[in-house]
A and B are shown apart, each in its own frame.
Chain A
Amino acid sequence: MIQVESLSKSFTLHNQGAAVIPVMRDAELTVKPGECVALTGASGAGKSTLMRMIYGNYLSDSGRIWIGGTDVVTARPHDILALRREVMGYVSQFLRVVPRVSTLDVVAEPLTTLGQEVEAAQARARELLTRLNIPERLWTLSPTTFSGGEQQRVNIARGFAHDYPVLLLDEPTASLDATNRDVVMSLIEEAKMRGVAILGIFHDEDARTRLCDREIDVTRFTPVAG
């Protein structure tokens, strides 16, 4: 479902003496449906960079990223938007929200964007917010003022609202208490059972042991200096 082939990237900092910083060379990985694969490696090794390249948030210099039948590296913006709507979900550590939009609508939005009825989308949002222990009195408020852990859970609820065949998870269990970490892991397990291909960064070793079928150390994709 996710197939990365000889993927390379460097950043060119035009305003800092046109410094070229190679960050990834010949990255290869495959994630099959129903599989959960963890990216590992020290901070700065390029785990998030690789995730962002797969999501189309960062450009790639060369190589291929196959999501189903679409190559993210060469796809037009229009096709990547469709891919993100229907196929590929991404849960990052940080929630980026519009001021004044209620939590319920933030979570339901991926479904309404796909054309689902507002009622059904909100019912799904309620279900997820309940599971993730977000008190009902907060649902009508914008998550902008929520605590870090609450925002993260809203973010997770949003990421799981639509049943994406591909999920990218950037530290989904960070800054959560034990109860909620367990809820999130159950959500991920259920997604695996449905046949979702999951690629994730998990700093929490328990989460890796419980969820992941394989680990890929991205250090081996790090270009050697000089």
Chain B
Amino acid sequence: MIPLLSVNGIEKRYGARIGCKDVNFDLYEGEVMGIVGESGSGKSTLLNCLAGHLAPDHGEVLFATRHDGMRNTLTMSEPERRMLARTDWAFVHQNPRDGLRMGVSAGGNVGERLMSIGARHYGQIRQTAGEWLDRVEIAEDRMDDRPSSFSGGMQQRLQIARNLVTAPRLIFMDEPTGGLDVSVQARLLDLLRGLVRQMGLSAIIVTHDLAVVRLLADRLMVMKGGHVVESGLTDQVLDDPQHAYTQLLVSSVLQV
């Protein structure tokens, strides 16, 4: 079976400091990979390298494109990479303001991504946007409101709708539940989990929250100081952690 994404020897340095180093993994279709670690561990650097937001110093990121087989996304042309980012890839930012156009209506935010891949029929775009707002549990009568009038949880759900409307195959998420109330988090997680399963999406989720990966991720990588110190099945890594740092991480979670 061919992986959807194959990451080989990724390294990113900030001057002499290591951002991340020697990162290797394969991600298969329909799999969700979690990346955990404390702040400064290199997990966001890695995610940004994978998603093409940062240029790594070494390594390759191979993606199984629809028409052209495995392609190294780091060496493809800028227009090609942008096309990928609009179609097969999606990126959910921790702060919805980074992923939404705050001055455009909710429906417009969703419709815009459709238009960027060639949709032109206004009625259809509006209808699809409405369906997606419904799927992320935003009332249709809020369609013409701007996201600035939305709560944090609603903004995050809108960002997800905007990202998923083009039916991407791989979604990158950077702390998607960070900064949200616990009850809002549960709703968002359940929603994400349902969408990922229904659409057969692959996802890479960066978070520091072990409960989030337990719920969403099939596989887990633990990062510390820019290195992957442990990886494996999510339940195995959390229930039988091998590395000292993972053991510390798991035993530090407060029980409710």
Query: How far, in Å, is A194 (CB) from chain B's closest CB?
Result: 27
Q: Does chain B have a CB within 8 A of A78?
A: yes
Q: Does B253 contact A (CB under 8 A)?
A: no
Interface size class of B (residues with CB under 8 A): 20 to 34
Q: Is the CB of A77 within 8 A of B232?
A: yes
Option from B28, B236, B244, B247 in Cβ contact (under 8 Å) with A58 = B236
Instruction: Give A67-90 interface residues, CB cut-off 8 Å to B.
Output: 77-78, 80-81
Number of A-B contacts (CB under 8 A): 57
Residue A57 lies at the interface, judged by CB distance under 8 Å to chain B: yes
**Given A52-B239, A80-B233, A81-B31, is A113 in contact with B186 using a C-beta cutoff of 8 Å?**
no
Interface string of A134-147 (1 = CB under 8 A from B): 00000000000000
Residue contact A100 to B190, C-beta cutoff 8 Å:
yes
Nearest chain A CB to B210 CB, angstrom units: 13
Shortest Cβ distance from B195 into chain A, in angstroms? 13
Chain B interface SS verdict (over half): helix
* Chain A residues within 8 Å of B197, by CB: 112-113
Check if B187 is an interface residue, CB within 8 A of chain A: yes
Q: For residue A200, give the distance in angstroms from its CB to the closest CB of chain B.
A: 20
Chain A residue with the shortest CB-CB distance to B198: A112
Partner among A12, A15, A57, A96 whose Cβ is within 8 Å of the Cβ of B236: A57
A120 lies within 8 A of chain B by Cβ: no
A9 to B, closest residue via Cβ: B240
In contact, B239 and A57 (Cβ under 8 angstroms): yes
Contact B190 A101 (CB under 8 A): yes
**Chain B, residue nearest A96 (CB):** B214
A98 touches B193 (CB 8 A): yes
Q: Are A100 and B187 in contact (CB under 8 A)?
A: yes
Cα(A14)–Cα(B230), bound, Å: 14
Task: Note all chain B residues with C-beta closer than 8 A to A112.
Answer: 197
Q: Mark B187-203, 1 if CB is under 8 A from A, else 0.
A: 10110011001000000
Interface of chain A residues 161 through 190 with chain B (CB within 8 A): none
Q: Within A99-158, which residues are at the interface with B (CB < 8 Å)?
A: 99-101, 112-113
Chain A, Cβ-Cβ closest to B219: A77
Cβ B236 vs Cβ A56 within 8 A: yes
Contact A77 B186 (CB under 8 A): no
- Output the least CB separation between B31 and chain A (Å): 7
Q: CB-CB < 8 A to A15: which residues of B?
A: 244, 247-248, 251
Tell me which residues across on chain B come within 8 A of A207, comparing CB atoms: none
Residues on A with C-beta less than 8 A from B193 are 98
Q: Give Cα A112–Cα B236 distance, bound, in whole angstroms.
A: 24
Chain B minimum-CB-distance residue to A118:
B198
CA distance A96 to B232 in the complex (A): 20
A–B Cβ pairs within 8 angstroms, 25 of them: A11-B240, A14-B244, A14-B248, A15-B248, A56-B233, A56-B236, A57-B233, A58-B236, A59-B240, A77-B219, A77-B232, A77-B233, A78-B26, A78-B28, A81-B218, A81-B219, A81-B233, A96-B214, A98-B190, A98-B193, A98-B215, A100-B190, A101-B190, A101-B194, A112-B197
**Known contacts A78-B219, A100-B186; 8 further A-B pairs (Cβ under 8 A):** A14-B243, A57-B235, A59-B232, A78-B1, A81-B218, A81-B219, A98-B193, A113-B197
List the interface of chain A (C-beta within 8 A of B): 11-15, 52, 56-59, 77-78, 80-81, 96, 98-101, 112-113
